[in-house]
Amino acid sequence: MWKNIKQLSQLIGKFTNRVVIGDPLLIHAYRSYGNEKEIVVRGRVIENEGITVQKEDGFWKNLVNNIRRFETDELRSIPIHLHFQGQTYEMISDREGYFYFRIPRHDFSSDSIVHWDQAEISLPEHRYKSDRLIRKKVDIMWPGSSSRYGIISDIDDTILMSHVGSWLKLQMIYVTLFQNVYQRKPFDGMSEALAFLAQDAKGQHVNPTFYVSNSPWSLYEVLEEFLQIHEMPVGPISLRDYGAFFGQQLEDFRQHKSNTIEHLLEFYPDLPFILIGDATEKDADIYLEKYSKYPDRILAIFIREGRKKEQNLRVRELFATYEDQPFYLVKHSRDMMNFSRQLQSSEKH
């Protein structure tokens, strides 16, 4: 599906004549995370297309901007430096311009709540016209000593109305290409529900929040800004690479959501998780698979109802095989809060 949108964008892009080869380089530094021993940093190097978005942008401006997001000019084999805690680490961007660091953390200082640090990414062989080094700060999240659990939430049709299940995905194509971040709609009450799960009684962010989606990395900035506009808890976002792939890369692509959750469970071995998704696709199947493998690590599963009765019935039947477990098919975001209160109450007794 997303491949088709990218191909359509590339085709239309030939006629819009808006992409300028040789644009300044841009480092996309994706919000990252760490544990007591190491940090994980992801990002991408592309040409800066100079996309600007305003609330009042109309149909045509949105189309052109979104085409330019998908029709990226990535920079392969670019030397990249990561500077963290007085150390410099080096690597080369891959064929799609992506880079991935997993490096040791030498100076560990804990906090009681979710806390953030920064690293810096630079391109040692490329400079701006002013001869300044091209660099970008990257935010890194750590759970705190008061973190009781982590939250892993899907985005499309869980937080953001994406219409993945629409006929031939036509509504999904429309909102992706012809609307901007200010015009996209969240599900009512989702900000409050996630805040309830993530915060303590004082309103402090104590339970780390991670977002995982099968959307392409080209939409990272859109999704990051959408979550910020609608005051969702701040956290890393994991998306998919829709570039060319073969063999193991193809399998990793297909298993992206499952692999991401597995990675987080292994990366934070002492932290249980609440999993949030929707009935439109296979979230319930993936989450139950993780529960079967890590029964003591999955505190609860919340699945938002889909628009089709058969989708919801299938999830109910899946959950019915796990009696007396905190797995919930919810109609409204506030239902997550109600069930969470029940869970917290039962934990106290």
- CA–CA separation, 272 and 57 (whole Å): 42
What stretches of the chain show up as alpha helix (H) in DSSP? 2-16, 59-70, 170-178, 190-198, 220-229, 248-254, 256-267, 283-293, 309-320, 333-348
- CA–CA separation, 279 and 285 (whole Å): 10
Asked which of 112, 142, 172 is the last residue of a domain, the reply is 142
What does the block give as tokens for 236? 């890393």
Sequential DSSP letters for 230-241: TTPPP--EEEE-
pLDDT of residue 244: 57
- Looking at the fold, whether 199 and 269 belong to one and the same domain comes out as yes
Residue 94 burial by CB count (10 A; 0-12/13-18/19+): exposed, middle or buried? middle
First to last CA, the chain: 48
The answer to whether the Cα torsion of 128, 132, 133, 138 is positive or negative is negative
In the chain, the number of structural domains is 2
Q: Which domain holds residue 295?
A: 150-348
What does the block give as tokens for 134? 């091209």
Going by the DSSP 8-state scheme, the letter that residue 169 receives in this structure is G
- Looking at the fold, whether 36 and 113 belong to one and the same domain comes out as yes
- CA–CA separation, 346 and 323 (whole Å): 17
Find the CATH number of the domain harbouring 199: 3.40.50.1000
Find the CATH number of the domain harbouring 9: 2.60.40.1940
Asked which of 86, 111, 142 is the last residue of a domain, the reply is 142
Contact 176, 200 (CB under 8 A): no
- The number of CA neighbours under 13 Å toward the Cβ of 259 is 13
Q: Walk along the chain (349 residues) and give the pLDDT tens digit of each residue.
A: 545 545 554 544 444 434 334 558 889 999 999 999 999 999 999 988 778 888 888 889 989 988 988 887 888 999 999 999 999 999 999 999 999 999 998 877 778 899 999 999 999 988 766 557 889 999 999 999 999 999 999 999 999 998 887 777 788 889 999 999 999 999 999 999 999 999 998 999 999 999 999 999 999 999 999 999 999 999 999 999 887 566 667 778 889 999 999 999 999 999 999 999 999 989 999 999 999 999 999 999 999 999 999 999 999 999 999 988 999 999 999 999 888 887 766 555 4
Q: What is the CA radius of gyration of the chain?
A: 21
- Looking at the fold, whether 19 and 137 belong to one and the same domain comes out as yes
Contact 278, 304 (CB under 8 A): yes
pTM above 0.85, yes or no: yes
Contact 284, 325 (CB under 8 A): no
- Looking at the fold, whether 204 and 137 belong to one and the same domain comes out as no
- Looking at the fold, whether 242 and 118 belong to one and the same domain comes out as no
- Looking at the fold, whether 158 and 278 belong to one and the same domain comes out as yes
Cα 116–Cα 118–Cα 122 angle in degrees, nearest 5 = 160
pLDDT of residue 25: 87
pLDDT of residue 17: 39
pLDDT of residue 72: 78
Query: Where is 27: in which H helix or E strand?
Result: strand 25-34
What does the block give as tokens for 102? 């997993």
Asked which of 117, 142, 167 is the last residue of a domain, the reply is 142
